[in-house]
Every structure is written in structure tokens, then in C-alpha cells.
């Protein structure tokens, strides 16, 4: 588990009823997050696990040891691993430097993002237990991210987000909508690696009904767009996860604006 560089997030204001969001505090909690990821990605969404993943019934990779794991805990489930009902993997620039790269670099050239000054954050491995895909759970995940962004003074977030299936033609409407309406500014635009590049410009802009395009987007991507998010140039087919990926880029202005005054008060001496 990665070390944090400032005061830990306070859980006092990161609760809704019996739900709480915070960073993982032990190897056991990280293991519970990996078990949740396995259930969602491989059992529910039909991703293809490696033989070791299948044997351990865990989703894991080398990045799990250098990142922060954001968790939603349902305290009504007791104190065991079953209380972990949501997770997000958070990788900051110093963590990626220790790993030698960001996870997204397997699919995208993110050089323009890396060239930006200040702290950046890669978001990934987001999932929520099937019985907890409710507004309070998602609100808590975003509150946790906002607190983390504020705590570490992060200016830019990015990461891969997925649409179900591996047939770009079947996804022509949402991919084209994203390309024509939400393409990232050139100075921060990631681009799919040449050997993995799949064009998103599948339909002409004037042939797209924006409402229909939005309607076909997964909830997570809609959430990023509500925060002013952009997409990179080109999609990538992920055969292991049975998805078509896009690279999301979000300037954190809108994330921090909503919570700025609150967390400023929390971080003041004596608060």
C-alpha cells in the first residue's frame, strides 16, 4: 500500500448512513478489494482471468502494491472483507515513477499529460458490488476522490474507461458522440498506441443525435463528462476484459470547486 504524503482523509464527513469511504488501511482490505474486482470483472462481466487469478479468485497486477485503494465500506455487513462494496485504484505521479509507468500506458500515449506541471492522478479498476449500485455509493466514491484530489493538490485526472463489448461498429454511436463532442484539447490529448488504435470517428457529426449518444454511454463515463471530462484520440480493444476502452481526461477544477471550502476548513489548523 502506498504511503501518503499529507494528513489522511477524515472519515467524519465521508459517510452516508452505514456507508463510509476511505483509503485501504491494510493488506486484508486490499485483498477484499481485489476479490470484489474479481467478482465484478470476471464473474459478472465475463473478463478472462489468468490461471493464477482464477485460482485465487482475485483481480491483481503489479500496480496494486504501489497505489492507493479507495474503498466504500458497508458497516452493516460487519467488520470482515464482505464490507468492501466499492473500490477505485488511485495512482499519482510519484507512484507511477516507482512502477516505471502508468497503467494506461499499455494502451495510450499519455506523454502530453505527463508533460503537464504539478500532480496528476490516474483512476482505474473502478467497480461496485451489484447490490450497492445506488446513488449513495456513487456519491461517496466521488466524495472520496474529491477529498483525495484536494489533499494532494491534483490538477489533472485521467484513466481508461470501458464500454461493453469488443465490436467498434456496434458502439459506433457512443464512440462517435465522444469523438465529436468531447475530444480533449490537443495539449492534454492522449492517443491510442498505433498498434492498438481504433478510430472513434465512425459516424459523421451531423448524423449523431447527442441525446442518443449520451444514452448509450456507461454511467461511469457519463459521470466523467458531467465533471467536464474529455476523451483521447482513438479507442482500444481490450480482449481480456471484453471491453472497448477510451481514455478519459478530467481537469480537477469542477471536482475541487464543489468541495473546496469544506475541505479547506477541515485542513485548517485546529479544525
CATH code for position 52: 3.40.630.30
What nine digits make up the cell of 162? 470501458
Question: Does a structural domain hold residue 124?
Answer: yes
Q: What is the mean pLDDT of residues 183-197?
A: 98
| Residue 8 placed within a domain | no
- The per-residue pLDDT for 138 is 87
pLDDT at 5: 39
Contact 236, 198 (CB under 8 A): yes
Terminal Cα-to-Cα distance of the chain (whole angstroms): 28
Domain coverage including residue 246 = 15-267
Span 57-80, average pLDDT: 95
Residue 6 lies in a domain: no
Please give the tally of structural domains in the chain.
1
Domain annotation covers residue 205: yes
- Per residue in 102-157, pLDDT (tens digit) is 999 999 999 999 999 999 999 999 999 999 998 889 888 988 999 999 899 999 99
β-bridge mates for residue 23, sequence order: 70
Residue 23 lies in a domain: yes
Nearest one of 86, 69, 121, 70 to 249, comparing CA atoms? 121
pTM here is: 0.88
Residue at 9 is within a domain = no
Amino acid at each position: 500500500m502506498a504511503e501518503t504524503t499529507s494528513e489522511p482523509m477524515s472519515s467524519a464527513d465521508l459517510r452516508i448512513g452505514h456507508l463510509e469511504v476511505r483509503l485501504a488501511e491494510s493488506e486484508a482490505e486490499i485483498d477484499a478489494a481485489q476479490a470484489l474486482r474479481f467478482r465484478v470483472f470476471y464473474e459478472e462481466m465475463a473478463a478472462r482471468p489468468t490461471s493464477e487469478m482464477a485460482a485465487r479468485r482475485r483481480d491483481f497486477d503489479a500496480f496494486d502494491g504501489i497505489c492507493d485503494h479507495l474503498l466504500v465500506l458497508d458497516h452493516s455487513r460487519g467488520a470482515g472483507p464482505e464490507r468492501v462494496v466499492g473500490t477505485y485504484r488511485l495512482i499519482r505521479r510519484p507512484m507511477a515513477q516507482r512502477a516505471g509507468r502508468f497503467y494506461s500506458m499499455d494502451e495510450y500515449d499519455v506523454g502530453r499529460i505527463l508533460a503537464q506541471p504539478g500532480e496528476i492522478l490516474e483512476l482505474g479498476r473502478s467497480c461496485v458490488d451489484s447490490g450497492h449500485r445506488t446513488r449513495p455509493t456513487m456519491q461517496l466514491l466521488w466524495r472520496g476522490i474529491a477529498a483525495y484530489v484536494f489533499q494532494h493538490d491534483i490538477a489533472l485526472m485521467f484513466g481508461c474507461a470501458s464500454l461493453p463489448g469488443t465490436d467498434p461498429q456496434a458502439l459506433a454511436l457512443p464512440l462517435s458522440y465522444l469523438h465529436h463532442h468531447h475530444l480533449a484539447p490537443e495539449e492534454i490529448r492522449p492517443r491510442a498506441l498505433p498498434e492498438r488504435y481504433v478510430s472513434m470517428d465512425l459516424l459523421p457529426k451531423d448524423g449523431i443525435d447527442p441525446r442518443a449518444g449520451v444514452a448509450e454511454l456507461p454511467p461511469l463515463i457519463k459521470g466523467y463528462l458531467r465533471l467536464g471530462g474529455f476523451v483521447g484520440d482513438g479507442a482500444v480493444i481490450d480482449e481480456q476484459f471484453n471491453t472497448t476502452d477510451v481514455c478519459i481526461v478530467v481537469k480537477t477544477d469542477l471536482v475541487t470547486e464543489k468541495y473546496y471550502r469544506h475541505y479547506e476548513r477541515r485542513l485548517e489548523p485546529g479544525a
